[in-house]
Amino acid sequence: MIYLDNAATSFPKPKETIDLLNEFVLNIGGNPGRSGHTLSLDAARFIFEARERLAALIHAGDSERIIFTQNGTESLNLAILGFLKENDHVITTSFEHNSVMRPLTFLAKEKRVSVSVAQCAHNGKLDVKDIKKLIRKDTKAVVVNHGSNVIGAVQPVGEIKKTIGEIPIIVDACQTAGSFPVNVAEDNIDILCCSCHKGLYGIQGLGAIYIRNGVDLTPLKFGGTGSRSESIEQPLFLPDKYESGTPNTPGIAALLGGLRFIERTGIEAIIRRKQDLRQSIVSSLSDIPGILLYGDNDDRKQLPVISFNIKGKLPSEVGYELNKREIYTRVGLHCAPVAHRTIGTFPEGTVRVAPGYFTTEEEIAIFIQAVREITKIS
């Protein structure tokens, strides 16, 4: 079995992830921050440490600015629905995932929010000037995909923020967190959304959002927080304001394991390894006759997310053949129809190959050989 779908979720997980998940479920199990007993407190400690380490990884400073959510999609919904108000104007790009496009479309229909889309080039490159041109007096935010889940292109979020000045930037870092340098302090990011089960090596069912001090969002959820229990009003302090209800503590424990793995291995080493894997796949695929590769493949500083097609074949046929050989990729539109329109692969989509830190050169060689065989099937 060869797993090349790490852009959907990373697999396998590091030993630390499984160890801490086991430790929590077997020996802790309490509901954090709710009761005064040791197991409740121990559960809260897992969350505290995960929050601290995630804050350190993305250079967030104060860890209370990190909020845990169900997934990257919930983080983006909290950012977009919680920040934009009726009649606001927002700018986004033609490389966004539906977790950005759908809440924006909802706001456009229901709250008369006006959405402008900056067109990226077919290779994923975004000209920052194109965002600047779209700024209006009533522009309230710019929502930008940091790293593409279709072709792995990375956008210069720091440069974009410099260009838009005081206008808040909302960054979708679902693909980049743990796979590319993310620095909210240096890049002056206002809101950063990520999932925790991809490059951060947690398990599915956990996301996070960083909210800069001074940025206020309307929560998506209201309810019990274990704090201010005498009041029927939602607390205003973080992280409780945005974290109502029992959290996914097993998921957060697993994330803590993932973050310890990243620290032990070194984020630079992980990023280097992933970029090398991308390079290796891209150069091998480009040698195969009949392969259509998307994106800018001269740029080494991209994510290990590669899209291709075989001339004359549907991506679904290629995915089927790979699956028969126990090679797991993801075919289709990857929940990003606007990105596929931008690269010219809508509506069929592409075959997406996403190696992970644990992918070996041998596995890549087997995958490449399989693609060669599939190109020859008539």
Partner 1 sequence: MTYFLLFFTIHDVLRAEKALKGHHVDMELVPVPRNLSSDCGMCIKLRGDLDGVKPYINGIEMDKCVSYDGKEYRTIGGR
Tell me: does residue 88 bind partner 1 (CB under 8 A). Answer: no
- 247 near partner 1, judged by CB under 8 A: no
Instruction: Using CB under 8 A, count the residues that bind partner 1.
Output: 24
Query: Is 48 a residue that touches partner 1 (CB under 8 A)?
Result: yes
- Interaction residues for partner 1, span 181-240 (CB under 8 A): 225-230, 235, 237-240
Rounded to a whole number of angstroms, the CA Rg of the chain reads 21
Query: What token pair was written down for 342?
Result: 């931008």
Instruction: Yes or no: say if 101 and 334 are a contact pair by the CB < 8 Å rule.
Output: no
3-state helix, strand, coil in the chain (%, to 5): 40, 15, 45
Asked if 316 is part of the footprint of partner 1 (rule: CB under 8 A), the reply reads: no
User: Using CA atoms, how far apart are residues 204 and 6, in angstroms rounded to an integer?
Assistant: 12
Q: Output 248 or 309, the one with its CB closest to partner 1.
A: 248
Nearer to partner 1, 228 or 325 (CB): 228
Long-range pairs, 106-113, Cβ under 8 A, ≥24: 106/81, 107/80, 107/81, 111/84, 111/85, 111/86, 111/87, 112/86, 112/87, 113/84, 113/86, 113/87, 113/88, 113/89
Nearer to partner 1, 65 or 274 (CB): 65
Q: Of 28 and 306, which has the nearer Cβ to partner 1?
A: 28
**Contact flag: residue 260 with partner 1 (CB under 8 A):** no
- Contact between 341 and partner 1 by CB under 8 A: the answer reads no
**Judged by CB under 8 A, does residue 33 bind partner 1?**
yes
Assess 41 for contact with partner 1 (CB under 8 A): yes
Distance in Å, CB of 46 to partner 1, minimum: 10
Q: Which residue has the tokens 């998921």?
A: 251
Identity of the residue, 230 or 362, whose beta carbon is nearer to partner 1 in the bound complex: 230
Give yes or no for residue 39 binding partner 1 (CB under 8 A): no
The answer to whether 139 touches 151, Cβ cutoff 8 Å, is: no
Under the criterion CB under 8 A, does residue 283 sit at the interface with partner 1?
Answer: no
Minimum CB distance to partner 1 smaller for 216 or for 287:
216
d(CA 2, CA 221): 39
For residue 44, state whether it binds partner 1 (rule: CB under 8 A): yes
Q: Which token pair is 202? A: 């947690």
C-beta closer to partner 1: residue 16 or 240: 240
Q: Does 36 bind partner 1 (CB under 8 A)?
A: yes
140 near partner 1, rule: CB under 8 A: no
Q: How far is the CB of 310 from partner 1 (least distance, A)?
A: 51
Residue 130 to residue 38: CA distance in whole angstroms: 55
Q: Is the dihedral of CA 27, 29, 35, 41 positive or negative?
A: positive
Q: Say how far apart CA 77 and CA 297 lie, in whole Å.
A: 32
Name the residues that contact partner 1, by CB under 8 A: 32-36, 41, 44-45, 47-48, 51, 63-64, 225-230, 235, 237-240
